[in-house]
Amino acid sequence: MSPSEQEIRDEDLKDFLLTIKRHSPYDFTEYSLKSLKRRLSKILLENKLNLSQLEKEILHNTDFMEKVVKSITVNTTELFRDPQTWMHLRDEILPKFASSKKINIWHAGCSTGQEVYSMMILLEELGLLEKSEVFASDINSDVLETARAGRYKFRFNQAYIENYNLVMEHVPDKTSQHGKAHHEKFFTVDKVADVIQMKPFLTEKPVYKKIDLVKDENLFHVKFDLIVCRNVIIYFNYELQNKVFNLFYNNLYEDGCLVLGVHESILGPFTANFSKKKQAYFKK
């Protein structure tokens, strides 16, 4: 019988996660069990293993363990994903920093970097990119390399152009120094080679670091005006979510802003520390 999500018992999953924690730098013990079961089921099917066999394999093969860890972490992103969020950033959040001498922005859990490039495109259109410092992190070193390169498959990501046009076609004249810019200002599309390539002035801007939000501190050692962490904490349990909110709260300037995904929200003790406006949470 093929492995399935229903065949992974909570007790067995917890034992497996403890094995990873003991024998690697990674700790998934505070991740949502439901989402982990779904991803592990896929790993078991792909490798034709059961959970016990998978555990033995990762103990004897460090490279395989790294492969499993990278499969467990979720890397779903696209340029201007959830366009309404980016419109809100462009129209109501980023203009608040227009009078700032410097803007520090952290993309936590940046995956392959499309979110980072989306932000820099908006910053450039608002005349804010030059004075912005852009930082980005992820637990997965492979996706950080993709982010640094800013090179993506075109046919797999044709929605990028649609999202770009949707967000950029209504840039307000009162805040934009450039008006609507054609996407070739920021990236080129080679349909024959199946490539979208971000321009060098964007790829050279961010500072990337491998950071595990479960156990690491802010390794950039600066405070931030804006932290973007979208579609990450949804995979954490309640206790870990609050641990991460504490990390973000302590590393935001007063009146700094945290942006979460459309299906994420701050619950529990930290609701009193932020004021919410759509998916944006402002530090009180």
pLDDT of residue 143: 93
pLDDT of residue 175: 46
d(CA 73, CA 55): 17
Q: State how far the alpha carbon of 194 is from the alpha carbons of 153, 155, 191, 198, in Å.
A: 6, 6, 5, 14
pLDDT category at 177 given cuts 50, 70, 90 is: very low
pLDDT category at 183 given cuts 50, 70, 90 is: confident
pLDDT of 213 over the 80 cut: yes
Number of helices followed by number of strands (H, E) in the chain:
10, 10
Is the pTM of the predicted complex or chain greater than 0.85?
no
Residue type, 226: L
Sequence-distant (6+) residues with CB within 8 A of 244 are 213, 229, 233, 236
Domain with CATH 3.40.50.150 in the chain: 83-283
Strands (E), 73-198: 103-108, 132-138, 151-153, 187-190, 195-198
**pLDDT tens, 246-261?**
999 999 999 999 999 9
pLDDT of 186 over the 50 cut: yes
pLDDT of residue 163: 81
**pLDDT tens, 96-129?**
999 999 999 999 999 999 999 999 999 999 999 9
pLDDT of residue 109: 95
3-state secondary structure of 180: coil
Q: 3-state DSSP: the chain helix, strand, coil percent, rounded to 5?
A: 45, 20, 35
Measured at the alpha carbon of residue 147, what is the angle toward residues 76 and 244, in degrees to the nearest 5?
60
pLDDT of residue 156: 63
Class of CATH domain 83-283:
alpha beta
- Strands 187-190, 252-260: pairing is unpaired
**pLDDT tens, 214-230?**
999 999 999 999 999 99
pLDDT category at 6 given cuts 50, 70, 90 is: very low
